[in-house]
Copies of this chain bind each other. A is one copy, B any other.
Amino acid sequence: MKTKGKATSFDIAHFAGVSQSTVSRALRNSPLVNEETRRKVWEVAKKLNYKVDKNASNLRTQQSATLAILLFEDPTGDESQINPFFLNMLGSITRACAKEGYDLLVSFQSISQDWRAEYEDSHRADGIILLGYGDYMDYQSRLQNLLSQNTKFVCWGANVEGRPDLTVSCDNYGGGQLAAQHFIEKGRKNCVFIGDASEHSPEFLTRFKGFQETLERHGISCGERHIANAISTEDSGYHATHSLLANNIKFDSLFAASDLIAIGAIKALKEAGLRIPEDVNVIGFDNIAASNYITPSLTTVQQNTTLAGQMLVTNLLSLIRGEDITDTLLPPKLILRQSTSQ
């Protein structure tokens, strides 16, 4: 019993003495096929090491049991390193897909490129997950484009008022509140924020707003002079903090828009001879692995990546099934560590 090349359903039909149609039905356990026939077909299939050709199957059924993930890169990011937070998300999304019986196509995209999400158009994936920091303004129009083509997709990111797409995101505003409240409990009065607090980075902006507005409710202001712009890299955080210090801004607490920024900030603070947490309290955002390893370990607002990956996948699947879904907001959680524990 042998075939040239990979076995097809016709080969099985031949050896099992039935028609190809019956083979197809038997292998998918259709109730239309006789028990004994089914057994025989399976037996032959196993012997020939048969596997359904997904291309043929997908072509006929017009669906792929596959999702695609598009990872946008921080445009200035180091080419060889990937933001560890997104790497975690990638891991949890992979797991969530596996659990749902879907395959996952992974692709990196430079945000500047024309990232028309080809996967869904070319029937390689049933839906798309978009993931990445980046300039929201830059790709807003592209989202619109996807929408107009009826492409099924969900985004990880800020759920900005009036944003047209479906998102899953951390409650960034609430996260900023947690940080502010913690500083207030610690009796801190002069707070600074490191990160891009503009509409170009809606996630960071939302974190900042939650932070600032909570402080103000307690009579603490965090105005323009107390913000240093930074993208989500260690270097950028280092330089931003450095320039604050160089400008002689006085502060006793620092909230960074991400852990990478916070790690860079800590380096700058240490170099300036400031003690953490005695002189300056520091809070980050994300809870990446490194934040637990640095000295002092970093108090941070945790994003639950496991849950986030799951929600992205289940929401996308709902969307594909045509169900009505809404934006999902995940609760942040403050992880207390040494950088605020004086």
Chain A interface (Cβ < 8 Å from any Cβ of B): 6, 49, 51-56, 58-59, 64, 66, 71, 79-82, 84, 87-88, 90-92, 94-95, 98, 103-108, 118, 121-124, 149, 263, 289-290, 293-295, 306
Contacts and interface: CB of A to CB of B under 8 A. Distances in A.
Contacts of A54: 122-124
A290 B84 CA distance: 11
The 10 A-B residue pairs with the shortest CB-CB distance, nearest first, are: A51-B121, A295-B295, A55-B59, A82-B91, A293-B293, A55-B58, A54-B122, A293-B294, A51-B122, A290-B293
A293 B54 CA distance: 45
A72 to B, nearest CB: 13
Given A91-B82, A289-B290, A149 B107 contact: no
A94 B104 CA distance: 12
User: Which secondary structure dominates chain A's binding surface?
Assistant: mixed
A95 B110 CA distance: 11
Contacts of A104: 105-107
A104 B108 CA distance: 10
B55 A123 contact: yes
A103 B109 CA distance: 12
Contacts of A263: 293
A91 B91 CA distance: 11
A55 B64 contact: yes
Contacts of A103: 105, 107, 124
A79 B295 CA distance: 27
Given A55-B55, A64-B55, A106-B104, A49 B149 contact: yes
Given A107-B94, A294-B293, A306 B123 contact: no
Contacts of A51: 118, 121-122
A84 B149 contact: no
Contacts of A53: 59, 122-123
6 contacts: A55-B59, A79-B95, A82-B88, A87-B88, A87-B90, A103-B124
